[in-house]
Amino acid sequence: MYHFRNDYSEGCHPKVLEALSGVNGEHVIGYGADDYCKSAADLIRNLCQAPNADVQFMVGGTQTNFVTIAALLRPWESVISPTTGHINGHEAGAVEATGHKILQAQVPANGKLTPNRILPIVEACKDEHVTKPRLVYISDATETGGVYTKAELAALYRCCQANDLYLFLDGARLGCAMASVENDLTLADIAALTDAFYIGGTKNGAMMGEALVVTNPELTENFFRMKKQHGAVLAKGWLLGVQFQALLQDGLYFKIARNAVEVAQYLQGGLKNLGIPMMTESTTNQIFPIVPNELLPHLDELCTYEVWGKADKGHTVVRFVTSFASTVKSVDGFLKELKDRT
């Protein structure tokens, strides 16, 4: 069995496990007030060249999204999100559960938002009988593997600043976005071009954990209480600090992402060589082959994957995702077996 289900289907990278094991016997203060979290936060501030940024560790992506969004907004304010944004489509109404409407912006297949999609929403909301849009939510990479360039992010941020909007970037798959050939953003760029973003651990080698970076100084007050109120304070908080330290101190985070992207791209190339087209030309660790329906039973036998949707009557879009545990060798094996069956 080959595994392409997703990038959170294995435990953690062995070096992360080693780091966790290494501190297991220690007695540490709880709730993230420990030195591991402090060091990891410092490391992140350095990488982001954002000495005054507030760094907050949380356990998962949905949690980080809704806690951050709800912390930034007043009750009458709303969020602009791509229709395909994770908060809009896969988080069971988590943002709305905090009382805030999501205003949906139509986006192209790559999932990337642009100022021209934002402005008409802002315009329509000048009417006081509707909510006030106050935050733009994007993710990098997007749900469909779209990767923002520096020029694109800068344009979005300018648009946000001109329209009294915060820009919040969901970085659940930030590692793989940054490992994409399309990427020209550094962490420092992202910190400079957003009000808040997070460095996703869960999908990039951590056991669990996301590191939120809040660069807008207006937004950092009382974040601990906000996290606590939403069950987002891990009692043994140092576990998150230890992991991010392990991931970030020697570039392991980026190495993991490079591997995932390389293997995915290798797989994408191999599938195309077998005559299988792609829904969208992804440069990240997620690829979206369009396969004939009669291939699905073979895939079911060969590998784990997810069905993304119907392409047409006879074809299905599937999603293959790679992780730190994926190897070129296993792709070779998979492609060979697949070829034998087609």
Q: Which stretch binds a copy of itself (CB under 8 A): 158-166, 176-184, 190-198, 233-241?
A: 233-241
Omega prior to 141 cis, within 30 of 0: yes
Residues 13-52 that bind a copy of itself (CB under 8 A): 14, 17, 20-21, 23-31
- Cβ atoms of 325 and 26 within 8 Å: the answer is no
- Cα dihedral 148, 87, 192, 159 in deg (nearest 10): 80
| Cβ(296)–Cβ(305) below 8 Å | no
Among 40, 41, 47, 102, binds a copy of itself (CB under 8 A): 102
Q: Of the ranges 3-11, 105-113, 145-153, 243-251, which one interacts with a copy of itself (CB under 8 A)?
A: 3-11
Return d(Cα 65, Cα 137) in angstroms, integer: 9
Measured from the CB atom, the residue of 153 and 234 that comes closer to a copy of itself is 234
Phi and psi (nearest 5°) for 95?
A: -70, -45
Is the CB of 76 or the CB of 292 nearer to a copy of itself? 76
Judged by CB under 8 A, which stretch of 112-120, 122-130, 282-290, 294-302 contacts a copy of itself? 122-130
Rounded Cα distance between 137 and 69, Å, is: 9
Q: Are residues 65 and 92 in contact, defined by beta-carbon separation less than 8 angstroms?
A: no
Q: CB-based contacts of 316: which residues, under 8 Å, 6+ apart?
A: 290, 291, 293, 296, 307, 308, 309, 310
- 248: contact with a copy of itself by CB under 8 A: no
Interface stretch with a copy of itself, choices 75-83, 188-196, 269-277, 288-296 (CB under 8 A): 75-83
Q: How many residues in the shown chain lie near a copy of itself by CB under 8 A?
A: 77
Which residue in 39, 114, 131, 220 binds a copy of itself (CB under 8 A)?
131
What residues from 274 to 303 belong to the interface with a copy of itself (CB under 8 A)?
A: none
Rg (the chain; Cα; Å): 20
- Residue 80, interface with a copy of itself (CB under 8 A)? no
Q: Tell me, residue by residue from 200 to 229, as one string, x for binding to a copy of itself by CB under 8 A and - for no binding.
A: --xx---xx-------------x-xxx-xx
d(CA 65, CA 56): 12
Query: Judged by CB under 8 A, does residue 163 bind a copy of itself?
Result: no
Cβ closest to a copy of itself, residue 183 vs residue 284: 284
Our finding on whether 232 is near a copy of itself (CB under 8 A) is yes
How far apart CA 278 and CA 218 sit, in angstroms, is 43
Asked if residues 295 and 305 have their Cβ atoms less than 8 Å apart, the reply is no
- Among 10, 262, 281, 337, interactor with a copy of itself by CB under 8 A: 10
Which of 135, 128, 126 is CA-nearest to residue 101?
A: 135
Indicate the residue among 93 and 277 with the shorter CB distance to a copy of itself.
Answer: 93
Q: Does 260 bind a copy of itself (CB under 8 A)?
A: no
Phi, psi of 24 (to 5 degrees): -60, -35
Per the CB < 8 A criterion, the answer to whether 158 and 132 are in contact is: no
Q: Which stretch binds a copy of itself (CB under 8 A): 72-80, 144-152, 313-321, 331-339?
A: 72-80
